[in-house]
A and B are shown apart, each in its own frame.
Chain A
């Protein structure tokens, strides 16, 4: 019996029990679709983070106060404010390091912004003009923070597009005086709408000079310092130099954590790949369930088709052939189910991409391949027992039954 005849015979059998066939195909396809959709979410998150880092460029270093426990760093240290302060003076000291192009101190605090009795809660960022290129900021109107001595507490601010519309409506905010906490700032610019960037909604921000932020909110420490090197190859050498400088300024204690772009994005990458894998593995459990369903359906098929199997043996089918016929049925069932699942899953991730355009939710090819492979593998493995039962069937007994 050649392969195409085997496949055709198997297909006819499956078609003969359409309802059952559809059920199994559905169960398998749901399993595979789950794998595809869930891994596409994980992969989407990974690509999202990747893109965000890519937008930053590769020639920068992030310095945050506090010592990370492990070398690779965890999520906690990114927001943790611990141990000794990382001061503006520390940041400016780094500027004297060789191969450093610029140093951008950053602080973040939540505050309130007032204008003519209107009030809004707002995340306030204290930084310098250097932040603009690093964050790829474009202006809707006005200008960004002025290029000046970072130690000056100039009373100016730049606001996000949403703040602008909520506070000022149709009116131009440029030149207006707003109040942030208990100080007055003159609005000099409005950011172009940008949405989420590095976990912050840029449209909802207010930016003021870093020293203004330190003074207004009485902040002793910076949230982080971004150091930009002249060339991407320099980052590791400069990172070592930064540690040395801070150690000498902090009485020999290295109480900071230094991230280079690659260490940061690999750390995220690792976490998100692990997450994608875990989620895919969990989704695969539904494939095991589909496998068990296939086994049951096949066991039923074998007992329903006892006399047919006996007949095939009487017509000269070898046990091996009978086994192959049932395995072919399983392969077709799980294969068709798997491919249907891939289609459903891709449709699912397409819908996700439509709903969340910033999330590149594409299932990684390995996950789709694994989903299909596991589905077919499970289908075949779980059919081994029923197929063996069919192959071993006593033909004379099977035929004496009606």
Chain B
């Protein structure tokens, strides 16, 4: 599904060049469960952003479902992002003015799905994620775990092919973190590819395929043979 070939990403800071990614090649199939670990600054988030089309590689080729997505313009990329990718962030990133249900609904609104089709979808997801009683609450009235559940429900509402989670447990205590991870794994079990960036070796170790990044390169890929 995802095929990265010789991806480079350099940032210019002042007059210095920072190599966030160097010659990264990676192939991820539908429904895979993959964890990305590595020291801070090793390029994990940058990799995820490029996969999620939030960032463009400086060099290299990115194909998504056989399509060269690096060649697409911003508008086309946002359409791909909207339909194929769900994001889960460390800091939840819920819109504070909107209720839990409205946050879940937001991708549907942006996609222009008519309201009559939106509400059953949202209701079903909110129920599935055990948020029914919290549906009308605003983010600041929710616990961290609940917020992340809202964020995951939001990531799922467009039925993406892959969920990109950047330290989804980084802001939660251990128990809640585990619950959230189990939830993500359950979704993966239903066929959604899960790419999980984490610092926590215990959590990262649960993935069937593990990638270790150092200094912008993939140092170790437990599933590399399949690439």
- A6-20 Cβ-contact flags toward B at 8 Å (1 or 0): 000100110110000
Residue B45, interface by CB 8 Å: yes
Within 8 A of A (CB), among B18-64: 45-46, 49, 52, 54-55
Decide yes or no: A320 and B75 within 8 Å by CB, A399-B54, A399-B93 being known contacts.
yes
Decide yes or no: A1 and B87 within 8 Å by CB, A317-B78, A320-B75 being known contacts.
no
A318 interface neighbour in B54, B75, B154, Cβ under 8 Å: B75
Q: When the two chains form their complex, are residues A317 and B74 in contact, meaning their CB atoms are under 8 A apart? A: no
Binds A, one of B102-110, B129-137, B176-184, B194-202: B102-110
Q: When the two chains form their complex, are residues A9 and B78 in contact, meaning their CB atoms are under 8 A apart? A: no
Nearest opposing residue in chain B for A321, CB measure: B110
B81 interface neighbour in A1, A314, A402, Cβ under 8 Å: A314
Contacts of B87 in A (CB 8 A): 314-315
Interface size of B in residues (CB-CB distance below 8 Å): 31
Nearest opposing residue in chain A for B109, CB measure: A5
Q: When the two chains form their complex, are residues B74 and A319 in contact, meaning their CB atoms are under 8 A apart? A: yes
Q: When the two chains form their complex, are residues A2 and B82 in contact, meaning their CB atoms are under 8 A apart? A: no
Contacts of A402 in B (CB 8 A): 91
Decide yes or no: A316 and B96 within 8 Å by CB, A5-B109, A396-B54, A399-B54 being known contacts.
no
Residue A311, interface by CB 8 Å: yes
Within 8 A of B (CB), among A120-146: none
Residue B10, interface by CB 8 Å: no
A98 to chain B, nearest CB (A): 79
Nearest opposing residue in chain A for B56, CB measure: A396
Residue B165, interface by CB 8 Å: no
CA distance A1 to B112 in the complex (A): 4
Residue A292, interface by CB 8 Å: no
Q: When the two chains form their complex, are residues B110 and A315 in contact, meaning their CB atoms are under 8 A apart? A: yes
Residue B79, interface by CB 8 Å: yes
Nearest opposing residue in chain A for B87, CB measure: A314
A118 to chain B, nearest CB (A): 77
Residue B95, interface by CB 8 Å: yes
Residue A313, interface by CB 8 Å: yes
Residue B98, interface by CB 8 Å: yes
CA distance A38 to B96 in the complex (A): 43
Residue A400, interface by CB 8 Å: yes
A residues at B contact (CB < 8 Å): 1-2, 5, 9, 12-13, 15-16, 307-308, 310-321, 394-396, 399-400, 402
B residues at A contact (CB < 8 Å): 45-46, 49, 52, 54-55, 74-75, 78-79, 81-83, 87, 89, 91, 93, 95-98, 106-107, 109-112, 114-115, 154, 158
With A314-B81, A316-B107, A400-B45 known, 12 other A-B pairs at CB within 8 A are: A1-B109, A5-B112, A307-B93, A310-B54, A316-B78, A316-B82, A317-B78, A317-B110, A319-B74, A395-B55, A396-B45, A399-B54
